[in-house]
Amino acid sequence: MKKILLLLSAFFFVVACQNEDSSKKGDQSLEKIKDAGEFVLGLDDSFPPMGFRNKDNEIVGFDIDLASEVCSRLGVKLRLQPISWDAKEQELNTGKIDCIWNGLSVDSSRAAAMNLSSPYLNNRMIFTVKDSALLTLASLAGKKIAVQNGSTAQKILEASDVGKAAAEILPFDDNQTALLDLDKGGVDAVFLDEIVAKYWITSNEKNFFVLNEGLSDEVYAVAFRKKDQKLRDAVDNILVSMKADGKFAEISEKWFGK
């Protein structure tokens, strides 16, 4: 578990720089959720194991189980709202959703644009390939590399030497579609979250390879509107409690086996 879980009490440096204006008396974000009786969670519903559709077309996942428990402790219902990942900030700021909770990687631009929770999970950005001849970063020069559109992975890849040396970077709406294209030979590699890659490869029994060389270590957090400090704090505090009482570890064991 040590490789997967971060101490929920530890704040990532970007969170310490949150805008304090949202903590003023006018913040009714928590009261609004309780009055409505529901908490609307925005997600990419094709992002296993964080949030995805199972064979019965139900949205399930690690983040879904976390959010369900948080809502139970808040005394509200959880409503899942699939969104376009590329338009996630717009969906949040227009009030269509109350948070973005689906393997959201932390970076400086997201920390500046949204009110992020304490990070709750470690992640690494990696390449996965089907061809065993492509097991180094150098071997990806001149190759076609897929990545999810609007993701931090896309930003990292485009700015990297690997991305600049690629024949083409192809953006996909979601990682599952990119991985299916890799399986068909449409692309030579996919750059994505290690958690997602390993879960998908194992679940689909694919003989893909994950390169030992990655480009970035990341953490996941929950994103709220800048002004919604009370709601953010309430969710954060419940996650801390879940770690203390063992519920967080129970959910982690279910999805990651550790």
Both 182 and 102 in a single domain?
no
Q: For residue 209, what pLDDT is reported?
A: 95
CA distance 198 to 202: 6
141 and 81 within one domain: no
pLDDT at 21: 47
- The reply to whether 162 falls in a domain is yes
- Per-residue tokens: 105: 């990687």
Q: Are 231 and 112 found together in one domain? A: yes
How far does Cα 153 stand from its chain's mean position? 11
Same domain, 81 and 159: no
Range of the domain at 56: 15-122+218-256
What's the pTM value of the predicted model, to 2 decimals?
A: 0.77
- What is the number of domains present in the chain? 2
Q: What is the pLDDT of residue 25?
A: 63
Q: What is the pLDDT along the chain (258 residues), one digit of tens a residue?
A: 444 444 334 444 444 444 444 445 689 999 999 999 999 999 999 899 999 999 999 999 999 999 999 999 999 999 999 999 889 999 999 999 999 999 999 989 999 999 999 999 999 999 999 999 999 999 999 999 999 998 889 999 999 999 999 999 999 999 999 999 999 999 999 999 999 999 999 888 999 999 998 888 889 999 999 999 999 999 999 999 999 999 999 999 999 876
CB-CB contact of 205 with 182 (8 Å): no
- Is 5 within the bounds of a domain? no
CATH number for the domain that contains residue 38: 3.40.190.10
Same domain, 188 and 235: no
- Burial of 190 per CB tally in 10 Å (0-12, 13-18, 19+): buried
pLDDT, position 23: 47
Residue burial 135-160, b: 16+ Cβ < 10 Å; e: rest: bebebbeebbbbbbebbbbbbbbeeb
Taking the CB of residue 16, how many other CB atoms lie within 10 A of it? 8
Whether the CB-CB separation of 183 and 175 falls below 8 Å is answered with: no
In a domain, 6, yes or no: no
Q: Do 22 and 106 sit in the same domain of this protein?
A: yes
**What are φ and ψ of residue 184, in 5° steps?**
-85, -10
Is 69 among the domain residues?
yes
Co-location of 116 and 223 in the same domain = yes
